[in-house]
Structure 1
Amino acid sequence: MKLFEPSSFFVAIAAFLILFWLLKKYAFGPLFGIMEERRILVQSQLSNAESNRLQSEKLLTEQKEAIIEAKKSAYDILEQARQASGRQAEELIHSAKAETVRLKEEALKDIENEKDKAVAALRSQVSALSVMIASKIIEKQVDAKSQEQLVEQYLKEVGGKQ
């Protein structure tokens, strides 16, 4: 038995080359084409994923900035509200003090008016009583002119004692 036969060797090589050519034409070509398409698809998906990641990071940064801005705006609004309420409180206190002073002045004026009215009424009553007492004492010996002088003199004395 021979280990090497040239005719079978060439036949085996020819069969191998024919098989390789057939595989290359009908199997490897479409298989490599599918693999190339798959490689391109995976590569495009990776680049899409990267661009999506970058876009997500950008949106996250924008949202963080928006939140910071919203917090700052809320703080500013609260600060303005505090200042406005402080001003309103001061205005209320000022107006209350002014109203108190006005009411006090009105009360003092009313008291003074009532006092003047009371003094006038008292003078009127005193003069009437004085005339009556004087006329009873003198028993109608005093004429009208003398009576007026007595009343005026008495009123001056009463007016000077206030």
Structure 2
Amino acid sequence: MTHSVVFIILVWFFKRNVWGPVLRLLDERREAIEKQFAEVEALKAEAEKTREDYKAQLHQAQAEARDLVQKAKSDATALAEQLRAETQAALEKSRKDASDRIAQETENARTSLRQYAAGLAVMVAEKFLTEGLSAEQRRRITEETLPEIERAATKN
């Protein structure tokens, strides 16, 4: 029985003096662990939020890059089309200018040929009128004059 009494006294003593501080220490440790778990969960949530933010920023940057590339392609296509149109217009203007110059030169050549032919005709007529030529002389003058007219026509 003494052992039982000693055991009861020891249990009562431990309960009164030791058990309270041990339970308090265990409660404090449990609260500290729970607090650390809460902090870990908060950090985990914050890390997830940061990851999602970075992911959204990455998607936005990729979209902006695609838009810039598309805009650059569109600008390049528009510029190429503009340059093609300007080149085509310049080519058409050059062709028209050349055609106009050719037409003008042709007209000038015709005018010169007419004037030359008229001068030759006047000269031949003067010879016919002043010399009173025979048929043989007229034929000879005509044969001599025709090659000159042909040479003048080929020059102009």
1:5-56 CA-partner distances (Å, limit 9, x unpaired): 112211331243221202233x234333322321221111011011112222
After TM superposition, give the deviation of residue 98 of structure 1 in Å: 0.6
After TM superposition, give the deviation of residue 124 of structure 1 in Å: 6.5
Give the match for residue 67 of structure 2. 69
- Answer 1 or 2: higher relative contact order, Cα 8 Å, separation at least 6: 2
> Equivalent of 2:41, from 40, 43, 49?
43
After TM superposition, give the deviation of residue 81 of structure 1 in Å: 2.1
Give the match for residue 16 of structure 1. 14
| Structure 1: gaps of 5 or more residues | 135-153
SS in structure 2 of the partner of residue 5 of structure 1 = helix
TM-score norm. by structure 2 comes to 0.67
Percent identity between the two aligned chains: 9
Q: Aligned equivalents of 1:94 and 1:80: distance in 2?
A: 21
Larger Rg: 1
Q: Aligned equivalents of 2:36 and 2:6: distance in 1?
A: 41
Give the match for residue 28 of structure 2. 30
Give the match for residue 145 of structure 1. none
> Equivalent of 2:106, from 102, 108, 111?
108
Q: Aligned equivalents of 1:29 and 1:119: distance in 2?
A: 132
Q: Aligned equivalents of 1:55 and 1:91: distance in 2?
A: 53
1:105-148 CA-partner distances (Å, limit 9, x unpaired): 111122123324434554666677x49x74xxxxxxxxxxxxxx
Identify the structure with the greater helix proportion.
2
Q: Aligned equivalents of 1:40 and 1:71: distance in 2?
A: 46
**For structure 1, which segment, 77-86 or 104-113, has the greater mean C-alpha deviation from structure 2 after superposition?**
77-86
Q: Aligned equivalents of 2:111 and 2:14: distance in 1?
A: 138
Amino acid at match of 2:88: E
* Matched residues, number: 136
